[in-house]
Amino acid sequence: MAELLRVEGLSAGYGEAVVLNNISLTVDEGKTLALLGRNGTGKTTLINTLAGATRQHAGSITLGSGNGMVALHKLPSHERAAVGIGWVPQERNIFKSLTVDENLTAVARPGAWTPERVYGMFPRLAERKSNLGTQLSGGEQQMLAVGRALVLNPKLLLLDEPLEGLAPIIVEELLKAIRRITREEGLSAIIVEQHPQAILAISDTAVVLDRGTVVHSGTAQELREHPEMLERLLGVSR
């Protein structure tokens, strides 16, 4: 399996404040990485850094394989989207003054993921195509945020706590969609989540952060099958 993302010696943060120290990790094509850790350990900062929304102090981020490799750390955020980064931040960042359909068509790029395919995966959005972003529930806004990232037709999907604060029925719907996107469609992804077992079940590898550094890196199966290791690393139990 070809390597898609390589992060080496990454240090980054906000202004002069350094949050991440010497982070290194890889993601292969068609694979999903679960990014885990207690609150405040740097997970969101790492996702934001990959998307180009922080100040990078050291290290490199490379996306692609073969002749298609791109030095991502040298690009501003809008150019990172163009070369293959699909980002769903915690804040969702949908255009609330536009309709659902306008949100999708405004950013769509040529490729397999079209607004119509997004509607097929999220029937709730299809029913609300003409609704403004402000008229959607939190769960519907999250579905729209995922849909907006997909119609960019990215190589790598970054999901920052996609299940946070959502009703159980919506969580199940989103998990099913994420499983389809990654497992059936083969889109590479990095997922930050406070529900580790839910995400580990659909991930290939896992990285645990603590105080801005990597304290564990291995297979998702290893953490699924050893809840005592999860408890030690995250302070949670099964």
- For tokens 């659909």, the residue is 202
- For tokens 């989540």, the residue is 193
Tell me, what's the pLDDT at 140? 96
Tell me, what's the pLDDT at 66? 67
- The backbone torsions φ and ψ at residue 52, rounded to the nearest 5 degrees and listed phi first, read 90, 25
Q: What is the chain's Cα-based Rg?
A: 17
Tell me, what's the pLDDT at 237? 40
- Tens digits of pLDDT across the chain (238 residues): 799 999 999 999 999 999 999 999 999 999 999 999 999 999 999 999 999 999 999 999 999 966 788 999 999 998 999 999 999 999 999 999 999 999 999 999 999 999 999 999 999 999 999 999 999 999 999 999 999 999 999 999 999 999 999 999 999 999 999 999 999 999 999 999 887 988 999 999 999 999 999 999 999 999 999 989 998 998 754 3
Tell me, what's the pLDDT at 65? 64
Q: Which residues pair with 98 in a beta bridge?
A: none
Domain with residues 1-84+189-238, CATH architecture: 3-Layer(aba) Sandwich (3.40)
Label residue 179 exposed, middle or buried (CB < 10 Å: 0-12, 13-18, 19+): middle
Tell me, what's the pLDDT at 32? 97
Q: How far apart are CA 131 and CA 99, in angstroms?
A: 5
Q: Which residues pair with 27 in a beta bridge?
A: 5
pTM, full prediction:
0.94
Structure token pair of residue 204: 């290939």
- The backbone torsions φ and ψ at residue 127, rounded to the nearest 5 degrees and listed phi first, read -70, -15
